[in-house]
Amino acid sequence: VLTPYYKEDVLYSEEELREENEDGITILFYLQKIYPDEWKNFEERMSDPKSGYSSKDKTECTRQWVSYRGQTLSRTAIFGGYRTIDMNKEHRTLKESAQALTDLKFTYVVSCQVYGAQKKSSEKRDQSCYNNILNLMIMYPSLRVGYIDEREETVNGKSAKVYYSVLVKGGDKLDENRIKLPGPPTDIGEGKPENQNHAIIFTREEFRKAHRGQRTPTILGLREHIFTGSVSSLAWFMSNQETSFVTIGQRVLANPLRFLYRFLMGHAALNTPNIRTSLCYNSTLRGGYITHHEYIQVGKGRDVGMNQISLFEAKVANGNGEQTLSRDVYRLGRRFDFYRMLSFYFTTVGFYFSSMVTVLTVYVFLYGRLYMVLSGLERRILEDPTIRQSKALEQALATQSVFQLGLLLVLPMVMEIGLERGFRRAIGDFIIMQLQLASVFFTFQLGTKVHYYGRTILHGGSKYRATGRGFVVFHAKFAENYRLYSRSHFVKGLELAILLVVYQVYGESYRSSNLFLFITFSMWFLVASWLFAPFVFNPSGFEWQKTVDDWTDWKRWMGNRGGIGISPDKSWESWWDGEQEHLKFTNFRGRVLEIILAFRFFIYQYGIVYHLDIAHGSKNILVYGLSWFVMATALLVLKVFILNLKRKFGTDFQLMFRILKALLFLGFVSVMTVLFVVCGLTIRDLFASVLAFLPTGWALLLIGQACRPCLKGIGFWESIMELGRAYECVMGLVLFMPVVVLAWFPFVSEFQTRLLFNQAFSRGLQISMILAGKKDKAS
């Protein structure tokens, strides 16, 4: 077994147990409420006078009690299969024999590339991690630690850095085995895959010769138990998802298919798929197969917060995007028969490709209906007396839509829970999941998968995203949610919302049909999930004081200037520049595709301007040309009067700048008056113009980002940046206003708390007191 470790927690220190977060909650207090029975038993053991624990021993045991319930290396080591059965003294010989047999058959290596650096470091945390790992090796003699050692040696008469891959064996004597490396291993990647690669040589495998065509399993998969499922409703959702995917799916794939295990779980490396997925591909290409057995159940901690889960899903989607472009997938696809190809498709890139097709179908449908509505083709069809609607087709599609809600995907999970814990429990869990908005959560994660998978296909540039392994669920600020979900969900959700609004306003299709209501309801549900799920599943997301603090933080973030050394969480400009990083390294094909995809936003202006009252029903091309004249005038005013004059007069001549703004406002009022009185402009035209010109401006912004080098050369890049800032402010206001309205009502926050932490409530967890930072004095 090979466990990668970088700088995660090994054993919580006493200071970390007592350290309070922003809500006044400590890790120790949180776990006391999560596991009340276990904490009560622990206190009884510590207070037993027969045990003879000193104050120092009690502190050390408390650290271990907390660490063994978190995602720490100590928990991994102690539950890693190390301890043989603790027998009586008279059976010492049998125990030693069992331990020797275990050592022959089982090797456990912790690959910690920074262990040597932690040993030499003067920082308190690094020294703490080093000492804790050292204590683990002394406690468990079978434990091995592999790390990279950097030394200064004389090579050909010159001082040079030499790198070694070192294996340290546990026990009283810490033996070392060294292998000289040709260079720094982290230079060929971003670190995480190389951390695992350098220690593979220290693992041992037992090979057996295949007999009569039988193939020896090369990779063993085990059942997983998610021990963090009780922390929150999101953690429970992910636990059930793991049950559905790992326990059921991989069991079937291993027997009778004897095929693939966990190909889907590919994390993103720099330019390659995840090492685990690459090993599966390599094993299958070499004639091996991967099996799944359940004689061992492995404990696993999953992410418990919305942002952590989204980062994990983004990381996996990036990895699957790289797999789609890899040669291994091409080779396997050429060699498999049809049935194994179907299994391969389902367990690897096919899952993400199907998700992308699902979302693209929504886009194609809405843009197709939008074209038919704005062009008048739909009205002509409906008003044609020779055409009759097909009721049979509508009924067939409506029946199919019930299954498109995703109910069939839930069926395997319900059956598995029913077989293991009873069907009444399974149906009850399914109902509770729906009441806790599990459909909203999984619909939101669908957008995460599609965005990062599609971006990797178009531009590459996948990277590893550290999700963290924290325990306490904390409140994420509005600016943090916006930075994380702006491009993946908010922009796409607003685009679909505008499509549905335009289609509703100008369309007349299926007005008397149940199919129209059914289809639009599912799409509105998709839009609502993508726009507001991060706030619904954000602890204390509708608490008034935190909402006010979020608004203050949002304004500060939007107003701060960027620059070299300014992190994205401190300035909007730095974040906005980082969001275009994939365009800096993409090829010419990627830029062209980005521009072509941006052209879809021009259809709004082209279709809506001919429906304006001021157009008087004219279909002349001059109407479209005048709309572009209005758009160009607005952009020119933004460029000349706002940016240039603000730079010249904004600081030294504030009075002059204010006079110019007043003149600009008077000119705007005069033009609007003439349009209303002379040209026949109406209030409805103003709202329609917003729907027409906002997408056009966004298209110009996307094209400008793709052509960044050219615009920087002609001096237009700053205008593009200010245009982007204006759009970000508008989107932020649209998203923030519903949160503010709901935060006015205190019961909304209480309902949200119960929604998120219902599992903990059922076990006596007073989560409302935890989020308010009020500790129970009785505890």
Angle (CA) 403-407-408 rounded to 5° is: 80
Residue 771 scores a pLDDT above 60: no
Longest dimension (CA), the chain: 107
Pick the last residue of a domain from 657, 686, 706: 706
Tens-digit pLDDT profile for residues 332-378:
888 888 877 887 787 778 888 988 998 998 899 889 888 888 888 77
Tens-digit pLDDT profile for residues 30-40:
788 778 888 88
On whether both 290 and 167 belong to a single domain, the answer is: no
**How many separate domains does the chain show?**
3
pLDDT of residue 12: 86
Least confident of 252-261, 605-614, 751-760: 252-261
Least confident of 189-193, 413-417, 433-437, 621-625: 189-193
Pick the last residue of a domain from 671, 706, 741: 706
On whether both 638 and 587 belong to a single domain, the answer is: yes
Query: Considering the chain, what is the average pLDDT of its residues?
Result: 78
pLDDT of residue 448: 92
Residue 446 scores a pLDDT above 60: yes
Task: Give dist(CA 596, CA 452) in Å, integer.
Answer: 19
In this prediction, what percent of the chain has a pLDDT beyond 70?
A: 77
Please indicate, yes or no, if residue 483 is contained in any of the structural domains: no
Please indicate, yes or no, if residue 599 is contained in any of the structural domains: yes
**pLDDT band of 775, cuts 50, 70, 90:** very low
* Residue 743 CA: distances (Å) to CA of 24, 89, 439, 479, 746: 21, 64, 23, 17, 7
Residue 514 scores a pLDDT above 70: no
Least confident of 510-514, 551-555, 739-743: 510-514
Who wins on pLDDT, 617 or 259? 617
On whether both 232 and 194 belong to a single domain, the answer is: no
Please indicate, yes or no, if residue 466 is contained in any of the structural domains: no
Least confident of 242-256, 273-287, 518-532: 273-287
Give residue 339's domain range.
225-303+327-349
Is the CB of residue 128 less than 8 Å from the CB of residue 13? yes
Residue 765 scores a pLDDT above 70: no
Please indicate, yes or no, if residue 765 is contained in any of the structural domains: no
Pick the last residue of a domain from 142, 168, 202: 202
In this prediction, what percent of the chain has a pLDDT beyond 90?
A: 13
pTM: 0.83
Task: Give dist(CA 588, CA 8) in Å, integer.
Answer: 40
Mean pLDDT across 55-65: 87
Please indicate, yes or no, if residue 642 is contained in any of the structural domains: yes
Please indicate, yes or no, if residue 370 is contained in any of the structural domains: no
Is the CB of residue 155 less than 8 Å from the CB of residue 95? no
Number of H helices, E strands in the chain: 38, 7
Residue 80 scores a pLDDT above 60: no
- Phi, psi dihedrals of residue 183, rounded to the nearest 5°: 180, -175
Tens-digit pLDDT profile for residues 629-654:
888 888 787 766 666 555 555 555 66
Least confident of 490-504, 505-519, 601-615: 505-519
Is the CB of residue 282 less than 8 Å from the CB of residue 274? no
Task: Give dist(CA 351, CA 344) in Å, integer.
Answer: 10
Mean pLDDT across 197-215: 59
Please indicate, yes or no, if residue 611 is contained in any of the structural domains: yes
pLDDT of residue 210: 45
On whether both 116 and 248 belong to a single domain, the answer is: no
On whether both 60 and 27 belong to a single domain, the answer is: yes
Please indicate, yes or no, if residue 52 is contained in any of the structural domains: yes
pLDDT of residue 265: 44
pLDDT of residue 530: 94
